[in-house]
Structure 1
Amino acid sequence: MKVRELMTPNPIRLAMNDSLGDAAKLLISYQVDGAAIVDGKAKVMGIITKTDLVKAFQNGVGPYTILEELPKRRIKTIHQDTSVKDVCDLEMEILPVVDDKMCLVGMLTRTDVRDRLIEKSQQEIGLLNSILKSTNNGVIIVDEQGVIVRMNPSALRILDLEQHTVVGFPANVVVPNLMLDEIIQTGAEKKNEKLKFKDKTLICDKVPLYKEGKIQGGVLIFRDSSEYQSIIDELDTVQRLSKKLDAVIECSYDGIYITDGQANTLRINKSYESITGLKREEMLGRNMVELEREGYVSKSATLIVLKERKTTTIEQEFKTGRRVLVTGTPIFDDRSEITMVVTNVRDVTSLVKLQEQLKENQELTQKYFTEIEEMRLQIIGDQDIIAKDEKMINTLRLAKRVAKVDTTVLILGETGVGKEEVAKFIHKNSKRKDKAFVKVNCGAIPKSLMESELFGYEKGAFTGANREGKMGLFEVADGGTLFLDEIGELPMEMQVRLLRTLQEQEITRVGSTKPLKIDVRILAATNRDLKEMVDAKAFRQDLYYRLNVVPLNILPLRERGMDVFPLIQHFLSTLNEKYGWDKSFSRDAVDCLCEYNWPGNVRELKNIVERAIVMSDNSVIASSDLPKTVMCNDGENIIVSGSEIIPLKSAIENIEKQLIDSAFQKYKSVRRAAKALGIDPSTFVRKRQKYD
């Protein structure tokens, strides 16, 4: 025990320029017997006690006298790491405690030492009492007169005596057969002496107690030999069980490796040798740290178990080149300490081969994916088009091919599929990419202004015309690309002029008779069936054939499902960056969006994503934040009506058939239909085949 454990830390202290009066007030205020006097660096310069103050005042020293003026005396200090036993004999009432720099860190008094020694003595007495009470051996203690002063519970039990009939009585009267007076008389120590008491044979140890060279008493420690016999019988039973356990371990098909709680090798069975190719004599008694370092094993499951204190399974390779799967399991005692680690070793050569093959396949898949991704980027090369679906990529591949020539392209597709983006894609990949890309929405321009907007007009061509005249969109797009969106809305009379412009590559402004040569590539788009319009005489056949040189059909979003999630991520990222947010969609919300039919296609998807992000107060957008039209439907309620009574089994089959047919018609996918009905895809297919 160190002084630092007994001292009073951070004691009160006085400065050299404090007065006697200051010292008196401080000692009285804190009710202490003394205080250290320190300099500005906390080094001890002296000590003053209440006794010192009384003597000073008796000698006529005034209360305003500063401490520095008092007679100096030798200061005794003690280091905080000094052993307590080294200060027990010091003549002191109060002693400053210092650190390595001789700075004051505490105060130690004789009272502190005395109280601690008393406390320690009481602890030792308590410990001795606990030992005497808990031991199974009988203990009898006699004084120098041979009178019994202590007999523990085990002694009373073995000898069948009562406490009040033995303590304070002579031992040769209470237990004469044990000859306790012999210890006092001879002072000789005896071991394993067999003595009879009543019907019991006791095995005894006699030990004399000395103090300052004189016998002060003796101790008799004994046990009943019959208890040893039961222990021997139990040991025989344990040995038999151990042999059986050894046989089980040795016959196990799995390899078994056992270490103690310090990773020292205890047992290795025959299967372990066979599986690993190692010999047990190479490893028994050795520590796993050493075996791992020497390369017997690539890494030790035992060491991992001892570190993490839980069952661990790893792949292990031995110096023989063999690879296995091992599982280490800790064995705990009553104090939750690991006493053993049992490691099971299983030959997984075939599994390793499959893993290697799987790894090769994964690497090959990754290689193919990378190549496909590179091809996709080469084809697209445009941040405005998000395409992962193979069908869409094929469409873009075709678009990139026709972009290299000036062929007229007719882009077909439903509203919102991205026809304009494909038109821009064609322009950016053409030789005209550095020239203008002009979009004309044929359905948005009034018929009365259509001709002047497309072809321009001369000054004074009509009332309200610009004095200087105006260039038409064909002239604006000269050298570049003109995108005629919603071409199906073009009035019949304008179709004639457009056809002539395409054929002759020249235009004539309104109010002019002079034609102007133009160099414009035409891209047209519509969501209408132009062939039906031709048949209905609503669209000129010759213009249709002139525009339909290369038709490019953009599939609706519901038919290119692989594009839905990338588009969601793209719109989400764009909006987060725009508004400085960090929002995301939950898994169920993404599932709902991916399963939705998207009649409005990409435009509808973009609007719904933006609406959900803007309207949701949470950072994670759940399916409940989506519009009701988009929310997932786990199944449709089918009501069977009618007054006809049919067998219950038939009614159930009818409803099941309706549900399966309705789900497949709605989702167009076995997986999605099965999910909506809450069954496995295999069950869905089996039931569908049954009813079909």
Structure 2
Amino acid sequence: MKVQDDIMKCNYTLKENNTFYEATQLFQNDEVEVIPIIDENEILVGAITKNDIIRNFIKGTKPDVFVKNLSLSKKSIINKNSATQDYIASKESYLAVKNDQGKAVGIFSMNSIYKQQLANALEKITDLKQRLKCIDECDEAKLNCTELDAIIESSYDGIYITDGNANTLKINRSYESITGLKRKDMLNRNMYDLQKEGYISKSSTLMVLKNKKSNTIEQEFRTGKKVLVSSNPIFDKHGNITMVVTNVRDITKLYELEEELAKTMELTEKYYSEIEAMRIQYLDLTNIIAKDKSMLNLLEIAKRVANVDTTVLILGETGVGKEEIAKFIYKNSTRRDNHFIKINCGAIPQNLIESELFGYVKGAFTGANKEGKIGLFELADGGTVFLDEIGELPLDIQVKLLNVLQEGEVERVGSIKRIKIDVRVLAATNRDLESMSKEKTFRSDLYYRLNVVPLIVPPLRERREDIVPLIQHFLSELNEKYNFEKTFTIEAINTFYNYNWPGNVRELKNIVERVIVMSSSNKIFESDLPMKNFSSYNEKNICNDDICNLKEAVGKIEANLISRSFENAGNVRDAAKMLGIDASTFVRKRKRYLEKGML
């Protein structure tokens, strides 16, 4: 028999640059015993087991240590074409299996082999019973003693046979190995005497002879091994017990694993208690979903700066949740009882942005309100102003914003009078303001004034422990909103976890909502997810032949990018930024492809 005949499917894999903390998260599933480790080319390079997790916990391994640097079992990989018999004596309960190309194809479990051996042994014992019965019933059917000895000696479990009077007839080699007792001291001796002399603490054989029915007990021998003892009677045609066959199974490893698992659970519970304490402390006043350590560390810093009026610049890719961090700072600040005004600097028309921010006086310009208008900064007096997309702010407005930050004053359009205000400014952008300041497209003095405390929100692919909680949060919201009872399978969750998420949390939320709304059943499978199609788009959809019209191919790619960016961003302006084009160009191209039926 080969290893490939006993391969089990593995739902999880880890890469060499995954962290120890990420590995522990996957082992929370009680069914997970071992996880293959692959390199950047998806070649199997090792495996990590629950025992490895335990050893590293005890060793004090830090959560951010890479999997490739962990202390792991040496013998952890086997080839699917290897003979099963070669690994019977292996000390590893689980091994990762690779194919001839080095790719992970599953898990090889020694436990399943042991179970098969036990089944074979029981089958042999049943056969032995029939043969022994035939001795009494038919003199012509004599059992070959050499064959009988071979059957008993080949058993993985210990076998102990007595006659109907408890006299010892046969003991195999496995029984000696498991119990530490010697055949020479026990053969031809009565079980009553052996129990009385302390060779065994209690006899399952004697219980069978007393009750005349099968019996199973647990015992511990002086070797320190714990065993499961099962004794079965053999009756003659008159109903008298002629033999008792006892099977002894070593369960010491099961107890050791149980103890190790208990220790692991204790350590895990302690670790999660600390994480939960951090979450409760930092997520007290917000709806932020955060479980990843990098995100919790960011919130810890944000909590500290929330108590002072320092200007904060929040940086990060589109869709990472910069606005949520701004709200977190506001809700944990001393200004939380006053206004929080969000201003999207890229959404206000350029000719109106000054009057919107700073207001205007009566008769300031044609079409102005006769009574004048208060600006958003004045409206936020005593509170907080959140300037989203600060990189889109025109240069002439940047000068006035700098004055607000330095002097705490605003000047309405058409007025020469300055108005004192007390506001805290939070700003956010996905653009590189430092490079923009060098290129003279963003004022360097404003950049340095904003960049007092920079907070960089990590992209979702760098805080993967937030993925599953976010999925659960969005799923719960949508189930409640639409009165659904939908769930994701483990395979679907694993696909979510391993996806790169270029659109970050916004993309995750959009995809979760899409598959929940579009799914026809309450259980959402991996096949229902759209992510698997992204990487193969160019291969499957651009051209049907090896060579096609260049203009047509470019159009298909452009239509695909426009569709995906709009889906991830949720609006024209952000989608256009993701593609690096103007919003008007984006709208024009999208309209053209919609009319052609390509979107």
Scaled by the length of structure 2, what TM-score is found? 0.54
Specify which of 382, 391, 396 is matched with residue 479 of structure 1: 382
Which has the higher mean CA deviation after the structures are superposed, 323-332 or 404-413? 323-332
Match of 2:61 in 1: none
For 1:375 and 1:427, how far apart are their aligned partners in 2? 19
Match of 1:423 in 2: 326
For 1:434 and 1:240, how far apart are their aligned partners in 2? 93
Structure 1 SS opposite 2:369: coil
Specify which of 321, 331, 335 is matched with residue 432 of structure 1: 335
Match of 1:326 in 2: 228
Aligned-pair distance for 1:518?
A: 1.5
Match of 1:618 in 2: 521
CA contact (8 A) 1:584 1:621 kept: yes
Aligned-pair distance for 1:244?
A: 10
Which has the higher mean CA deviation after the structures are superposed, 406-415 or 381-390? 381-390
Specify which of 202, 207, 218 is matched with residue 287 of structure 1: 207
For 2:471 and 2:135, how far apart are their aligned partners in 1? 76
Change (3 A) 1:374 1:322: same
Aligned-pair distance for 1:391?
A: 2.1
Aligned-pair distance for 1:348?
A: 5.7
Structure 2 SS opposite 1:445: coil
Structure 2 unaligned regions, length at least 5:
1-133, 182-194, 541-599
Aligned-pair distance for 1:612?
A: 1.2
Aligned-pair distance for 1:499?
A: 0.3
Structure 2 SS opposite 1:405: coil
Aligned-pair distance for 1:468?
A: 3.8
User: Cα deviation per residue 1:153-211 (whole Å; 9 max; x = unaligned)?
Assistant: xxxxxxxxxxxxxxxxxxxxxxxxxxxxxxxxxxxxxxxxxxxxxxxxxxxxxxxxxxx
Structure 2 SS opposite 1:484: strand
- Aligned-residue CA RMSD in angstroms? 4.6
For 1:624 and 1:445, how far apart are their aligned partners in 2? 42
For 1:588 and 1:250, how far apart are their aligned partners in 2? 45
Write the mapping of 1:186-225 to structure 2, written as runs, cut at 5 A.
none
Greater C-alpha radius of gyration: 1
CA contact (8 A) 1:265 1:288 kept: no
Change (3 A) 1:634 1:466: closer
Match of 1:371 in 2: 274
Specify which of 530, 550, 560 is matched with residue 453 of structure 2: 550
Aligned-pair distance for 1:607?
A: 0.9
Match of 2:426 in 1: 523
Aligned-pair distance for 1:402?
A: 1.5
For 1:455 and 1:285, how far apart are their aligned partners in 2? 95
Write the mapping of 1:370-519 to structure 2, written as runs, cut at 5 A.
370-381=273-284, 384-519=287-422
For 1:605 and 1:470, how far apart are their aligned partners in 2? 40
CA contact (8 A) 1:411 1:554 kept: yes
| Total equivalences in the alignment | 385
Change (3 A) 1:357 1:506: same
Aligned-pair distance for 1:495?
A: 0.4
Aligned-pair distance for 1:598?
A: 2.0
CA contact (8 A) 2:363 2:370 kept: yes
Specify which of 477, 492, 496 is matched with residue 589 of structure 1: 492
Structure 1 SS opposite 2:352: helix
User: Cα deviation per residue 1:276-329 (whole Å; 9 max; x = unaligned)?
Assistant: 9955696477436999xxxxxxxx9x557xxxxxxxxx9x35599966132648
Structure 1 unaligned regions, length at least 5:
1-229, 292-299, 305-313, 638-692
Amino acid at match of 1:538: T
User: Cα deviation per residue 1:630-679 (whole Å; 9 max; x = unaligned)?
Assistant: 56769989xxxxxxxxxxxxxxxxxxxxxxxxxxxxxxxxxxxxxxxxxx
Amino acid at match of 2:346: G
Structure 2 SS opposite 1:423: helix
Aligned-pair distance for 1:503?
A: 0.5
Change (3 A) 1:244 1:377: same
Scaled by the length of structure 1, what TM-score is found? 0.48
Structure 1 SS opposite 2:280: helix
User: Is structure 2 residue 485 aligned with structure 1 residue 565?
Assistant: no
Change (3 A) 1:589 1:631: farther
Change (3 A) 1:408 1:630: farther
Aligned-pair distance for 1:385?
A: 1.6
Aligned-pair distance for 1:437?
A: 1.2
Aligned-pair distance for 1:412?
A: 0.9
Change (3 A) 1:501 1:255: same
For 1:593 and 1:247, how far apart are their aligned partners in 2? 54
For 2:349 and 2:538, how far apart are their aligned partners in 1? 47
Specify which of 525, 532, 541 is matched with residue 435 of structure 2: 532
Aligned-pair distance for 1:486?
A: 0.4
For 1:635 and 1:488, how far apart are their aligned partners in 2? 33
Specify which of 444, 466, 478 is matched with residue 575 of structure 1: 478
Aligned-pair distance for 1:453?
A: 1.2
Change (3 A) 1:350 1:434: same
Aligned-pair distance for 1:530?
A: 0.8
Identity %: 56
CA contact (8 A) 1:624 1:631 kept: no
CA contact (8 A) 1:289 1:303 kept: no
User: Cα deviation per residue 1:385-409 (whole Å; 9 max; x = unaligned)?
Assistant: 2222222222222222221211111
Change (3 A) 1:273 1:538: closer
Change (3 A) 1:598 1:354: closer
